[in-house]
Amino acid sequence: MLRLLCFTAHPDDEAGGFGGTLFHYGDCGLETHVVCMTPGQAATHRGGAKSDNELARMRRREFAAACKLLKVNSGTVLYYPHGKLDRQDFYSPVADLTRRVRKLRPHVIITMGPEGAITAHPDHSMIAIFATMAFHWAGRTNRFTDQLESGLQPHRTQKLYYGTTLFTMPDRQPVSLPPTTAIVRIGQKGIDAKVAAFKCHTSQAPLFPFFEETVRRRGSQELFHLAATATPMKAQNETDLFAGVAE
Ligand SMILES: [Zn+2]
């Protein structure tokens, strides 16, 4: 059974950034997992929540509903502070994500690029950096050895991808995106699932028009940049994130 692990920063990134791909692989019968770093408690759009804790609880429920719709096998929201991932120490979040990699043992990891995706949100940049180090260090016997002593095994994930696009937002400062090396065709079914999953995030309803505009521009494909591979190789144009992956 092939496994895909997606690391995100906020509830709704799984739908907005990766919804088509998660749905596509889930629909094909692969095992898919999402680990989201923050419960999105500092969001501008509050959905009527009276406190950060209440918003966090709402957004955890919305995330669970979106994951279910995207046929995700397990969706986990961690407890890091939204908007402050760049002010966390480096070691603990990487240890946390490394533990997830060693437990879930994915064949492929997808996450955002260090530029912060088209919105350049610093949390997006930080999840890219934390997830990248978790990808590399989960396979090493001399990193986070306490995890290995307590029974986990090192795990080398075969490929790491950053989500990317071929456009930037016209009304925002441009970002420098990773070049596209893989195109996943998600089809109309994938677009529909992605939009429906995003709309599970009802606290973020004011973002729906922006989101739908972005989805329309992306069309029936999601783009990725192959950032690292366990087997040394030249970059290729791929249409399947699992191309060349051994079970
Ligand atoms: Zn986000």
Give, for all 247 residues of the chain, the pLDDT tens digit.
999 999 999 999 999 999 999 999 999 999 999 999 999 999 999 999 999 999 999 999 999 999 999 999 999 999 999 999 999 999 999 999 999 999 999 999 999 999 999 999 999 999 999 999 999 999 999 999 999 999 999 999 999 999 999 988 888 899 999 999 999 999 999 999 999 999 999 999 999 998 888 887 788 999 999 999 999 999 999 999 999 999 9
Distance 45 CA to ligand 1 centre (A): 13
Q: Provide the whole-model pTM.
A: 0.97
Distance CA 129, CA 123 (A): 10
User: Closest Cα to residue 237, out of 177, 185, 184, 181?
Assistant: 181
Distance 145 CA to ligand 1 centre (A): 31
Q: What is the DSSP letter of 139?
A: T
Distance 118 CA to ligand 1 centre (A): 10
Distance 215 CA to ligand 1 centre (A): 15
Distance CA 130, CA 110 (A): 12
Distance 162 CA to ligand 1 centre (A): 14
> Is residue 185 classed exposed, middle or buried when 0-12, 13-18 and 19+ CB atoms within 10 A define those classes?
middle
Give Cα separations from 19 to 3, 25, 143 (angstroms). Answer: 16, 10, 32
Distance 136 CA to ligand 1 centre (A): 23
Distance 17 CA to ligand 1 centre (A): 8
Which residues are within 5 Å of ligand 1 (an ion), measured at CB? Answer: 9-10, 13
Tell me the per-residue pLDDT of 53-88, one tens digit each, with 9 for 90 and over: 999 999 999 999 999 999 999 999 999 999 999 999
Angle, vertex CA 164, rays to CA 55 and CA 36, nearest 5: 30
Distance 141 CA to ligand 1 centre (A): 32
Distance 63 CA to ligand 1 centre (A): 12
Distance 13 CA to ligand 1 centre (A): 5
What pLDDT does 219 receive?
A: 86
Contacts of 72 (CB under 8 A, 6+ apart): 14, 22, 26, 32, 33, 34
Q: DSSP string covering 26-72, please? A: HHTT-EEEEEES---TT-S--TT-SSHHHHHHHHHHHHHHHHHHTT-
Distance 234 CA to ligand 1 centre (A): 31
Distance CA 100, CA 65 (A): 21
